[in-house]
């Protein structure tokens, strides 16, 4: 099982049982992540895959709603 490199430890934070990756690196961070919960009796694991997608931003042009004022 891989562990975090020393230089990466400050980028990964677990807060309220949520993994937060600061400064996502699309070349290094994708992969399989595993969570372990254990007590004196047994251990359970949950695994998830992180994929980083690069999408172009999309800007849709919508006409502004017209307003007519009368006097």
The domain spans of the chain are 6-50
Tally Cβ neighbours within 10 Å of residue 13.
Answer: 11
CA–CA distance from 50 to each of 14, 29, 33, 47, 60 (Å)? 16, 8, 7, 10, 29
Does this model's pTM top 0.75? My answer is: no
For residue range 28-67, what is the model confidence (pLDDT) as tens digits? Answer: 899 999 999 999 999 999 999 999 988 888 887 777 777 7
Whole-number pLDDT of residue 2? 60
pLDDT at 8 over 90: no
């Amino acid at each position: 099982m891989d562990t975090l490199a020393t230089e990466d430890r400050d980028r990964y934070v677990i807060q309220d049982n949520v993994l937060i990756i600061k400064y996502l690196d699309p070349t290094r961070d994708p992969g399989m992540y595993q969570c372990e919960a254990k007590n004196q009796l047994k251990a359970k694991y949950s695994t998830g895959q992180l994929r980083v997608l690069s999408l172009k931003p999309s800007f849709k042009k919508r006409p502004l709603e017209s307003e007519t004022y009368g006097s």
